[in-house]
Chains A and B, each alone.
Chain A
Amino acid sequence: QVHLQESGPGLVKPSGTLSLTCAVSGGSISSSYWWSWIRQSPGKGLEWIGGIYHSGNTNYNPSLKSRVTMSVDKSKNQFSLKLSSVTAADTAVYYCARDTTVTVTFDIWGQGTMVTVSS
């Protein structure tokens, strides 16, 4: 059974960079799935941030594209998110999720990690 676990700082300063990692266990990140980041804030609900394939191919939400970088570390079976120039509007619970690719269905989710942007 595949399990996803997010990790990273819970507090980021305004104008700084949010960095999160999602560890994949019970399966290989090199399998035929995309791996996504999704966030949830009270003001904006659920928002898809972007996704990455094990080859390094990425798809980003155009609204965040200028600030988002995703990467994969196959040796550690994990993938990462960097979001730069953060503001209070980026305060949210961040989830990593597996995307079944053909239908873009998020079938497995991590538990989520709360990130607050504040000085």
Chain B
Amino acid sequence: DIQMTQSPSSLSASVGDRVTITCRASQNIANYLNWYQQKPGKAPKLLIYGTFSLESGVPSRFSGSGSGTDFTLTISSLQPEDFATYYCQQSYTTPPYTFGQGTKLEIK
């Protein structure tokens, strides 16, 4: 299985801050990398697919980059509603499709 490792596991930041979350794959996954946001008691919500593409309705302050094994999710200016847990997920070739362990973004 392809292992996905996120860093940091948790992060404290303030409204207005620029935040970057990293996801590393255990092998080359090209650009088959998606990002999700999850709030307590809710299902994950798709933010970015194919490394770069913003899901419809997602604010433009969210962006993704990377290729191969190293990927980042950037929030350019944190808003109060952005405090949540973020997960990466790889979808390269055959199953299983695996997720990172999550990064919890908390208010400083």
Interface of A is mostly: strand
Is residue B98 within 8 Å, beta carbon to beta carbon, of the partner chain? yes
Whose C-beta in chain A lies nearest to the C-beta of B51? Answer: A103
- The 8 Å CB contact of A60, one of B1, B36, B95, B99, is B95
Q: Is the C-beta of B96 less than 8 angstroms from some C-beta in chain A? A: yes
Cβ-defined contact, B32 with A48, below 8 A: no
Q: Contact at B95–A47, with CB atoms within 8 Å?
A: no
User: Across the interface, do A103 and B99 meet the contact criterion of CB distance under 8 Å?
Assistant: no
A111 and B87 contact, CB distance less than 8 A: no
Given A46-B87, A48-B98, A59-B95, also A104-B43 (CB < 8 A): no
| A/B pair count, beta carbons within 8 Å | 59
B34 to chain A: closest CB distance in Å? 5
Map CB proximity to A onto B25-39 as digits: 1 under 8 Å, 0 otherwise: 000000010101000
CB distance from B36 to the nearest CB of A (A): 8
Closest residue on chain A to residue B93 by CB atoms: A104
B11 CB → nearest A CB, Å: 17
Which range contains the number of B residues in contact with the other chain? 20 to 34
Contact of A103 with B91 at beta-carbon distance under 8 Å, contacts A46-B44, A109-B44, A111-B43 already known: yes
Contacts of A100 in B (CB 8 A): 49
Asked whether any CB of chain A lies closer than 8 Å to the CB of B19, the reply is no
- CB neighbors of A among B10-68 (8 A): 32, 34, 36, 42-46, 49-50, 55
Q: How far is the CB of A5 from chain B (nearest CB, A)?
A: 11
The answer, yes or no, to whether A106 is at the interface (CB within 8 Å) is yes
Pick the contact of B43: A48, A63, A110 (CB < 8 A): A110
Q: List 20 A-B contacts (CB under 8 A).
A: A45-B99, A45-B100, A45-B101, A46-B102, A48-B96, A48-B97, A61-B95, A61-B96, A62-B95, A63-B1, A63-B96, A95-B43, A104-B91, A104-B97, A105-B46, A105-B91, A106-B46, A107-B49, A109-B45, A111-B42
5 closest residue pairs by CB, A with B: A104-B91, A109-B43, A46-B99, A61-B96, A105-B49
Residues of B within 8 A of A (CB): 1, 32, 34, 36, 42-46, 49-50, 55, 87, 89, 91, 95-102
